[in-house]
Amino acid sequence: MKVCDAMTTNVQLCTPQDSIRDAAEAMATLNIGLLPVAENDRLVGMISDRDIATRGIAMGRGPDAPVRDVMTADVKYCFEDQDIDEVTRNMTDIQVRRLPVLTRNKRLVGIIALGDIAVSKPGDGAATALHGISRPGGQHAGAVTG
């Protein structure tokens, strides 16, 4: 099964110029915690509710600060024609629960999440991935220093 068979294609975007308030409002309306950031039809970053909290509010940025100030620019992604099992293993390795999906020409066409994989490919693939993604000490594990 390919990523394009399981991904979500209806993706809300924001731009680097949008305010973090706009991004937060879109997340609240859609009940999601992550938005792709696009500019000139290209994916340039991702912004999460955690980015807004830790790079925005915690760093003293107000709600009118631009998304570019808090977004994650180093975006991990997959391609629409990749095999689901390969992408699931990659998600485990880099410890993420969702990835933007691009065409080979680097155009954003969707997002694939563990939930999409679980629904479209019954079995233990999503559970195995979640176990690996949730292990301590990964890319998204944060250490609080004082």
Predicted confidence band at 123 (pLDDT cuts at 50, 70, 90)? Answer: low
Per the CB < 8 A criterion, the answer to whether 29 and 142 are in contact is no
Cα–Cα distance between 125 and 129 in angstroms, integer?
6
Sheet containing 108-113, strands listed edge to edge, beginning at the edge strand earlier in sequence: 78-79, 98-102, 108-113
**Least confident piece of the model among 10-24, 36-50, 122-136:** 122-136
Give yes or no for residue 125 having a pLDDT over 70. no
Predicted confidence band at 24 (pLDDT cuts at 50, 70, 90)? Answer: very high
Predicted confidence band at 145 (pLDDT cuts at 50, 70, 90)? Answer: very low
Neighbours of 2 (CB within 10 A): 14
Overall fold of domain 3-133: CBS-domain (3.10.580)
Predicted confidence band at 40 (pLDDT cuts at 50, 70, 90)? Answer: confident
Residue 87: what are its φ and ψ, rounded to 5°? Answer: -65, -40
Q: Is the pLDDT higher at 83 or at 117?
A: 83
User: For 77-103, what is the mean pLDDT?
Assistant: 93
pLDDT confidence of residue 88: 92
pLDDT confidence of residue 118: 84
User: For 88-105, what is the mean pLDDT?
Assistant: 92
Residue 6: what are its φ and ψ, rounded to 5°? Answer: -125, -15
- Nearest Cα residue to 69 out of 77, 79, 61: 61
User: For 99-121, what is the mean pLDDT?
Assistant: 89
Cα–Cα distance between 117 and 17 in angstroms, integer?
32
CA 104-109-110 angle, 5° bins: 120
- Average pLDDT of the chain is 85
Per the CB < 8 A criterion, the answer to whether 55 and 25 are in contact is no
- Nearest Cα residue to 11 out of 40, 38, 39, 51: 38
Give yes or no for residue 120 having a pLDDT over 50. yes
User: For 22-47, what is the mean pLDDT?
Assistant: 93
Cα–Cα distance between 112 and 84 in angstroms, integer?
9
Annotated domain spans of the chain: 3-133
